[in-house]
Amino acid sequence: MSDPREHRLAGLEPDNLLAFLALLGLLRALEEAEPTWRVRAGWRIDEAPLRPYLRVAEAVSLEAVTAAAARGAAMLAAHHDFAGKADLNHSEAEASAALHAARAAGGYSAELFAALMSDGAAKDDKIEATPLCLMFGQGHQHFLSRLDTVPKLAEPPARGKGKKAVAVSSAACMAEALFAAWERPDPTESFRWDVTEDVRYALMASDPTSPGGKREKGGAQHGANRLAAIGLSALPVAPVKVGQRLRANVPGGAFHGRRREFTLTWPIWRDPLSLGGIVALMRHPGLGDADVQQRLGIDHLREARRFSQGKFMNFGMARPSVPDGV
């Protein structure tokens, strides 16, 4: 980009939920580490392939951006404390106590817990987790355990074996996630938000949920998962009535049909917006209307559908959504 205040985020594809959450997490981490930068993000619609760009109030280098992102992620990750809970399976009383404690702490802690659950959406004395939680212990995958440990792991394990192993710094890992096509080289834990994490057992030589299985299928993009774990805090849970019960929903979320299938929709907007501005767009009640999109500077929407394969859940690739009235 010719403007020294702008950086193209070449690693963040528009159709991957992990990439979108990482974009939100990047803005949140930079707000924490460098509040005077007044960071914004937008999309270059006329540049192929479609990618977002970061805008900073002053000219800063790519190295400064990645260092600040790593620093901000570490600062926020220190607040990821779930009192030993491994999964989002709280009783209503446990959820209420956790939410009240987080609200008393204020700041990021309050935002994080508000994005995990609501004591207003429960069934049989168990809260309903955010619809972005895809693991509840199946295959020994525990959501809160990962939400605790992944953002705190600044550096992934060294890549390679023996004397050829190469250590990767936290900033370098962030740079790979933000500014380069993803290669997913890390055998680290993730959240099943990446479209490549739809891993089937059939025809695989090892358990795809194990570290060995991760290496077989290509591993994870650790920097993106760290940022996405923080970006989740931007999407607070609220109870909505679906059929005869209250369900936990988030901005951009919707339940469909008798089977209550869930989709998450996010906008592809042109002009740079703050993190708060992006979430405000996702909350807009008329976001699906073509005239509203035009007035708000939205080029189009992307919709990702949650699905199950056996006992595992994933989000598919986000497809362009046709606006109402078109």
Assigned token pair, 258: 């008798």
Contacts of 314 (CB under 8 A, 6+ apart): 134, 192, 195, 197, 198, 306, 307
What pLDDT is stored for residue 210 in this prediction? Answer: 52
Q: What percent of the chain has pLDDT over 90?
A: 81
Q: Which domain holds residue 33?
A: 1-326
Query: Following DSSP, what letter does each residue of 150-173 receive, concatenated?
Result: TTT--SPPPBSSGGG-B---HHHH
What pLDDT is stored for residue 113 in this prediction? Answer: 97
pLDDT along the chain (326 residues), means of 10: 89 98 98 98 96 97 97 98 94 94 96 94 89 94 98 94 89 97 96 87 50 57 98 96 90 86 97 97 95 96 94 95 71
What pLDDT is stored for residue 155 in this prediction? Answer: 95
Q: Is the dihedral of CA 56, 61, 63, 68 positive or negative?
A: negative
- Give per-residue pLDDT as tens, 75-101: 999 999 999 999 999 999 999 999 999
Task: Indicate the number of domains in the chain.
Answer: 1
pTM of the model: 0.93
Mean pLDDT, the chain, rounded, equals: 92
- Give per-residue pLDDT as tens, 176-218: 999 999 999 999 999 999 999 986 554 445 555 554 444 445 5
Q: What angle do CA 211, 14, 278 make, to 5 degrees?
A: 110
What pLDDT is stored for residue 321 in this prediction? Answer: 87
